[in-house]
Chains A and B, each alone.
Chain A
Amino acid sequence: MSRCRQIRNDLVAFLSDELEERRAERVRTHLKACPLCRRELDLHREILRRAETSNPELDQILASVDWEAQAEKIVREVWRDRPLPGLSRRGMGRSFFLRQWKPALAGGLLGMALGALATLFLFRESPKTTAKAGEFFASAEFLDRADFEIARREALAYLEKSQDLLIELAQPAREAGESRLSEAAARQARELLSRKKFLNPQLEGIRMAKAKDICDQIELLFYELFELSDGLTDDRRQEIQNFIEQKSLLLKIKLLRKELQESET
């Protein structure tokens, strides 16, 4: 009988297919040999059949509700009072600190900290570079580049005019008595000497050292010309031409001009 009691405790689960196979097989085996337990099984089955198929009260209640309208009503109420989509206020707070966000959060905080430190360091190191309201601010690098560009352009203009004059001087005298320097050439030599004085401060930088050397040689020559402009003999002209040729002044000017043109910033 104790065997029957154990089996009967399993009968409802057996009828509901909730019994594991080993125990279900034991129940089946027992039922074949036990008419009392078979009768018990039939009674349980009948109760379950009636209960499952006949519950008009519940069916009536369920049928009395317009479930589509009810769903719409529920959603309308939820949407009216909803805090944030899908998250309670408490859940929202927690979700921000979900495990998968922790590396990004840590990275973000570290970045902010480093950025703050870098900003502090930069402002401490170069307080003078901060422009006050209404003042023009330019970096030292920008000013250097601007100075070089001005010097470069001025040197190019000087060299171009000097080259023209030197080419004229380098030409052999075509007629006797033409040894005197023309008025235009003399005026140009004076202008170039004046220009050289203006140019000198701009040639002080190390990047303009080569240009300064050549311009100085040209200046020296123009001084000679200026002094001799009233009595430039053929011999003197020849000396100047030799100087130009010896110093390869025209070649240097040509190369320097090319170099300066290519170094345009």
Chain B
Amino acid sequence: MNSPGRGENGDLEDLIRLAGRGDREAFKTIVSLHQQQVFLLAYSLLRNRDDAMDIVQETFLRLYQKLGEYQMGKSFCGWLLQIAKNLSIDFYRRHYSRDREARTDGSLEELARARSKEDAGMTPSSDVSRAISRSLEKLGERQRMVFIMKHYNGFDYREIAEVLAVRPGTVKSLHFKAVRNLRRLLGPQLGMET
């Protein structure tokens, strides 16, 4: 995946300063560098491509309005994804039905049963990768976000903790639970013991 990586250096801060002064190209560079990360986070929460794209656009609009509030030296990516996360959650609460929200907050078994019903009319897939995608969707909201940010965005626990506004110890615990639950969900398909 095209990721700018975790290192945030003076170049990025220069871009932020220029964008803050109205430099269009500098702002566009920031967008180009981070839009996929924002998309991945939004998609991990909303699981809908078009909704995630809307969140990406809204996130950068908010970013531009808040550039003057960014504190140099702090994690820009963490700050940006925090904006994206809050917008995604607001979007989810406004647009998604109550039952889906209930399912997201429910147990993994309930989620699995609900997903099985949804998948009943679909062609069964033996593709392990597809199974992993499905399993990720069945994780709880915070577990899924932690897993996506850790393994697809390449964030460390400290950065994820900034985005989620929790302690790194909580991130570690959520990560552990996410992997454990993925193993339970995927174990049979992968021929693993659970």
Contacts from A to B (Cβ < 8 Å): 9, 11-13, 16, 18, 43-44, 46-48, 50-52, 54-59, 61-62, 64-65, 67-68, 70-75, 77-79, 81-83, 85-88, 91-92, 95
A interface secondary structure, majority: helix
CA distance A240 to B180 in the complex (A): 135
Question: Which one of B4-12, B59-67, B77-85 is at the interface?
Answer: B59-67
> Is A16 a contact of B175 with CB atoms below 8 Å?
yes
CA distance A73 to B147 in the complex (A): 29
B interface secondary structure, majority: helix
> Is A68 a contact of B20 with CB atoms below 8 Å?
no
> Is B43 a contact of A54 with CB atoms below 8 Å?
no
The 8 A CB mask of B133-157 against A (1 = contact, 0 = none) is 1001000000000010011100011
> Is B28 a contact of A75 with CB atoms below 8 Å?
yes
CA distance A73 to B56 in the complex (A): 11
Given the interface pairs A56-B130, A58-B40, A71-B31, the reply to whether A86 lies near B21 with Cβ below 8 Å is yes
Contacts from B to A (Cβ < 8 Å): 1-2, 19-22, 24, 27-28, 31-32, 35-36, 39-40, 43, 49, 53, 56-57, 60-61, 64-69, 127-130, 132-133, 136, 147, 150-152, 156-157, 172-173, 175-176, 179-180, 182-183, 186, 190, 192-193
> Is A51 a contact of B132 with CB atoms below 8 Å?
yes
Apart from A47-B183, A56-B130, A88-B65, what are 15 other A-B pairs with CB-CB below 8 Å? A50-B132, A55-B129, A56-B127, A58-B152, A61-B43, A62-B36, A64-B49, A67-B35, A71-B32, A73-B57, A74-B61, A75-B27, A75-B60, A81-B61, A85-B20
Residues of B contacting A9 in the complex (Cβ-Cβ under 8 angstroms): 173, 176
Residues of A contacting B39 in the complex (Cβ-Cβ under 8 angstroms): 62, 65
Instruction: Report 26 cross-chain contacts, Cβ distance below 8 Å, ordered by A residue.
Output: A12-B175, A16-B175, A44-B179, A46-B192, A47-B183, A48-B151, A50-B132, A51-B132, A51-B182, A55-B152, A62-B39, A67-B2, A70-B35, A71-B31, A75-B27, A78-B27, A78-B60, A78-B64, A79-B24, A82-B65, A85-B19, A86-B22, A86-B64, A87-B65, A91-B68, A92-B68
> Is A71 a contact of B129 with CB atoms below 8 Å?
no
Residues of A contacting B35 in the complex (Cβ-Cβ under 8 angstroms): 67, 70-71, 74
A87 to chain B, nearest CB (A): 4
B185 to chain A, nearest CB (A): 10
Q: Which residue of A lies closest to B176 (CB)?
A: A12
CA distance A95 to B40 in the complex (A): 33
